Amino acid sequence: MKKVGVVGTHGRIDGCSFLDTEELLRKVGANTGNLLFQYAVCNLLDEDYVVVGEDLPWDVKTVQDQCRVLVIPSANFVRENFDFSGFVDFLDKTELPVVFLGLGAQAKNYEQSEFNFHESIDRLLDLIKRKSKKVALRGAFTDKVLRERGVDSGVITGCPTNFINKDSDFINKLKTKWSQDAFSFVATGDEPWPKDLTKRDAERKMIEWVANGNGLYLQQSVEPFIKYARQRNLYQKSVVPEHHENSLRQALAPFMSDVEFRGFVATKMRLYYNVDQWMEDSARVDFSIGLRLHGNMAAWQSGTPAIWVYHDSRTRELAETMALPHLSHTDFLKVDSLSELRDTVTFNFNDYKIVRESLRKNLSEVLDAHGVSHKL
């Protein structure tokens, strides 16, 4: 009997310690946050599945022979300067129906109306019109962008990671932990060299809080930073240029000396390639803040409260869609401590519960439309 094919990973990279950084980042799609929504999708299915790229090779005939439908844990695929040709070609050749879960559009802000998409994005949207009965979208902004391009099968679901935790008392546990003092925390970082210097300042503030408190700093996707952090792993083939340390320090922590920055990276920076371990460590701290959706979501789903700091449409759309606590990076710059940040953000757990249930029904609708059994 043919199975459901899930594209990506099981939510972990086995043997990660023995891989070169470039190979490791290739396996996670250049961002370890991808592991989290791939893990979420694998864990919500209630029938046998195989993972294309791990259990099955990227071979059209093999996939077509063994799968009846392809489920695609999705990210901000609909964005400028992104060539998706190889993946779109593969999906088209399989001749299988496709189910996109958590598909998002990306823009600098909600007001952006003109996009210079690569032609492969237009082909992706055409493929969705032909091969998807319904598509699960991150939010209203994505729905608007897709409808303007002829895709009217969108259902707003947020991100599948919102449903990792299946404990019926999950939200009450979050509420209890939110009300407690935050002794320890994790901060999820982004890029060291953004064009927007206010975003860089937000990154610096988080690192300073971590350095001066009981915090950990999580990095998901910046290759030069990850190479620098892994340079003492003898399986990393790339030689890290000497100037990288100074460049990173100047961008992110100019208040530290070279030695202090080296110590910060060695003792306070975390890289995760296994979602179960990521969430276990997140459950041990009291709070999470940061610029990355999935870094915070690993904490949130483990029962640790979080506040999302957004700087573009990606994180803002998801946080608003899922009724998660959030604020802009410019507002974040106005606060001076974690306790002040928590007091600044207004959040209603009952609203979150109601919205989550509505989104759960929407996601169920998408999977049901394609005959995919699930645990939602």
Q: At residue 243, does pLDDT exceed 90?
A: no
Sorting pLDDT into bands at 50, 70 and 90, what band is 28? very high
pLDDT of residue 117: 94
Supply the pLDDT for residue 268. 97
Average pLDDT over residues 224-246: 91
Topology adopted by domain 3-23+30-163+357-369:
Rossmann fold (3.40.50)
Q: What is the pLDDT of residue 191?
A: 87
Share of the chain above pLDDT 90, in %: 93
Please report the pLDDT score of residue 369 as a whole number: 98
Return the percentage of the chain with pLDDT > 70, whole number: 100
Q: What digits encode the pLDDT tens for the residues 322-350?
A: 999 999 999 999 999 999 999 999 999 99
In angstroms, the CA 173 to CA 187 distance is: 21
State the angle between helix axes of 33-44 and 293-301 in degrees (0 to 180), rounded to the nearest 10: 50
- Give 300-315 pLDDT, tens digit per residue: 999 999 999 999 889 9
The single-letter DSSP state of residue 68 is: E
Nearest to 256 by CA among 227, 282, 217, 287: 217
Contacts of 79 (CB under 8 A, 6+ apart): 105, 106, 107, 117, 121
CATH 3.40.50 assigned to domain 170-348? The reply is: yes
Q: Where are the domains of the chain?
A: 3-23+30-163+357-369, 170-348
Average pLDDT, the chain: 96
The pLDDT of residue 49 is 98
Residue 321 has pLDDT above 90, yes or no: yes
Residue 101 pairs with which residues in a beta bridge?
Answer: 73, 136
Q: Which two structure tokens, joined as six digits, stand for 29?
A: 């799609």
**Number of C-beta neighbours around residue 227 at 10 A:** 20
Helix axes 197-212, 258-268, angle to 10 degrees: 70
The whole-number average pLDDT for the span 140-168 is 97
Q: Do 3-23+30-163+357-369 and 170-348 show the same overall fold?
A: yes
Place 42 in a pLDDT band, splitting at 50, 70 and 90: very high
pLDDT tens digits for range 45-87: 999 999 999 999 999 999 999 999 999 999 999 999 999 999 9
Does residue 103 sit in helix, strand or coil?
strand
C-alpha torsion sign, points 107, 113, 119, 125? positive
How far apart are alpha carbons 78 and 146 in whole angstroms? 9
Q: Which letter, b or e, does each residue of 4-42 get, where b requires 16 or more Cβ atoms within 10 Å of its Cβ?
A: bbbbbbbbbbeebeebebeebbebbbeebbbbbbbbbbb
Q: Distance between CA atoms of 301 and 160, rounded to whole angstroms? A: 11
For residue 371, give every residue at least 6 positions away whose Cβ sits within 8 Å of its Cβ, in sequence order, or none. Answer: 69
Is a pLDDT exceeding 90 seen at residue 113? no
